[in-house]
Chains A and B, each alone.
Chain A
Amino acid sequence: MSDDVKTSDRPALMHLFWWFMFAQGGVLAAILIPVHVLVQGILGPLGIVPVVDQHLDTWYSILGNPLVKLYIVVLIAFPFFHFAHRLRYLLVDLGVKGAKSVPAQVIFYGGAVLITLLAIVLVLTTAPLSF
């Protein structure tokens, strides 16, 4: 099994972009997600600690903060580019040939773009800006 691979002496800017998003997404997912899952997914629902999203007033209020809006976009956008790359290559590693195709790239990375856009729309429309 062999493929033709073309190499170029031009800087691979798109490669740089995707690897940047992958690496930053991995770091941000590692640093930010576990505490959200622990507090909002386990401790809050069990009633062990009070959490902002357990009451509409506090949740709505904090969602109006511009820093929180920016934080949520970062929390969603970067990790989803990381997830898209890892899941596509998981399929490649498991022998799914179609995972290397252009349509698969469009689905995975396009999905990350769509979810990023969805997050931006949601944080902009859920609660008005408040300081």
Chain B
Amino acid sequence: MSINASWYLALSVVLFSIGALGVLVRRNVLIMFMCVELMLNAANLAFVSFARTLHDIGGQVLVFFVLVVAAAEVVVGLGIVVAIFRRRASANADDLHLMKG
């Protein structure tokens, strides 16, 4: 409860950086999605930490909305992955250049 919020923020930064690195480096669409979830969790951690430090419950409410939007994003994103996979039979992001002329 009374650990300094700087430590939570530092952990959040580290988690966000690992997620960003995963999105930039990995080629599998599903793993890129998981890394996006890591970044969302880092943002959630920072929100809760700020809510406690600044004595404002709005941070926790925002985490609630982030959870809902993440659920919707995953549902639609995995639907897109399934639709692409049905046509291309590959989960590799490098193969998805259908709009390239």
Tell me if chain B binds chain A.
no
Binding site for B on A (CB under 8 A): none
